[in-house]
Structure 1
């Protein structure tokens, strides 16, 4: 009798536990369903910015993450020349050139090595001609931006290996810059020509560590 009376009690206890367990699962199920909108939002965020991955790929032509300065000057309202003096002790050699695409503009970076701070003279020209020889230089594009780096020395003076190509350097991923044609170093200056799709406003500034001149061409209005 005692044994038989225990069986229903165990059964009732098991049923109570089962009901309690089911009741405890209900909030968890509701919480799980509540995460669905959050997951959808995250997916939506990826869809909103589908260029995030391609932006990294275009950065392959502009590998240094600090190639752009947070204190860059505003784009000029016109297309007039931009110049800056080299330091008195400047003796540098251009070691690398790279291009990159950014929101609203294209960037061309001229990295240098040596001593002192280089200067520049950047302006649109009607035709690209090689300094020294005066021979025409082929540059793809509807306009040509001549970049003259000053305070330059020959590699045997600076002990720095000079940029060796590719030449021309295509503006991969860019919209306004078509290519960069490297000319030569002559009498303290190095010249390169940036082909563009038109005479768009540009800005020029210098950065350090490593030393480089940054030329940015705005998208056509």
Structure 2
């Protein structure tokens, strides 16, 4: 009898010990969660902002003419693209940045203010000239894509440049370098040295106001 009670007590203790030491499995995450597509009328964030919430709203995609190769996508072109805007006062360029994406390189011009300035984009012959000194500039690559903003400025009220670097050399597949040519009398001009005369497109984004220039690889 004592032996039976001893075995019963030993079994009960082992059972309690096993219950207390039972491993708690962490909750699992279902593997069939559907992927939520980004909202319509959006484009991916660029550069370091890519890890931020997913998209910027597109204000306008410039309807450019078909390129010389007869491309049916009207947003890509090798022809000049122009959107004129007059007064009120000029807006200030605050940042210029570049990055590469699948199939194209992106350059972003960011401005203060509630709207973008007028702009003109076109492939130009080289060398191009600095507007102050008249010095010749020959960007690297086989083509030069000029971006002109007006009315705009790239300096503050004290005359200090708002974009410190006047030359950028990202050496991307298409965009090899950028150089500021002009910041004078309401005109700001940059030139991109590109690997070839590739089709490009223009997007206007807001919050903050940006002009986005994509150049195909």
Indicate the residue corresponding to 2:36 in structure 1. Answer: none
Q: Structure 2 residue aligned with 1:184, among 174, 182, 185?
A: 182
Where 1:146 maps in the other structure, the secondary structure is: strand
CA change 1:162–1:116 in 2 (3 A) is farther
CA change 1:84–1:59 in 2 (3 A) is same
Indicate the residue corresponding to 1:59 in structure 2. Answer: 47
State whether residues 92 and 114 of structure 1, in contact with CA within 8 Å, keep that contact through their aligned partners in structure 2. Answer: yes
What is the total number of aligned residue pairs between the two structures? 188
Say whether residues 1:85 and 2:84 are aligned partners: yes
Q: Structure 2 residue aligned with 1:203, among 193, 201, 205?
A: 201
Shift of 1:166: 2.0
The superposition leaves residues 106-128 of structure 1 with CA deviations (integer Å, 9 ceiling, x where unpaired) of: 11112223575301001111214
Q: Which has the higher strand share?
A: 2
Say whether residues 1:7 and 2:22 are aligned partners: no
Unpaired runs of 5+ residues, structure 2, are: 32-44, 62-72
C-alpha separation between the residues in 2 aligned to 1:150 and 1:7?
Answer: 100
State whether residues 114 and 209 of structure 2, in contact with CA within 8 Å, keep that contact through their aligned partners in structure 1. Answer: no
Where 2:99 maps in the other structure, the secondary structure is: strand
Where 1:80 maps in the other structure, the secondary structure is: coil
Indicate the residue corresponding to 2:99 in structure 1. Answer: 100
Shift of 1:105: 1.8
Select the structure of larger CA radius of gyration.
Answer: 1
Shift of 1:167: 2.9
Indicate the residue corresponding to 1:218 in structure 2. Answer: 216
Say whether residues 1:130 and 2:118 are aligned partners: no
The superposition leaves residues 13-51 of structure 1 with CA deviations (integer Å, 9 ceiling, x where unpaired) of: 53366479779999x69x79xx8xx9xx9xxxxxxxxxx
The superposition leaves residues 97-146 of structure 1 with CA deviations (integer Å, 9 ceiling, x where unpaired) of: 11122232211112223575301001111214125454321312221110
TM-score computed with the length of structure 1 as normaliser? 0.65
Indicate the residue corresponding to 1:194 in structure 2. Answer: 192
C-alpha separation between the residues in 1 aligned to 2:170 and 2:194?
Answer: 9
State whether residues 94 and 111 of structure 1, in contact with CA within 8 Å, keep that contact through their aligned partners in structure 2. Answer: yes
C-alpha separation between the residues in 2 aligned to 1:19 and 1:154?
Answer: 77
C-alpha separation between the residues in 1 aligned to 2:56 and 2:140?
Answer: 28
C-alpha separation between the residues in 2 aligned to 1:125 and 1:180?
Answer: 14
| TM-align CA RMSD | 3.9
Matches within 5 A, 1:108-147: 108-113=107-112, 117-130=116-129, 132=131, 134-147=134-147
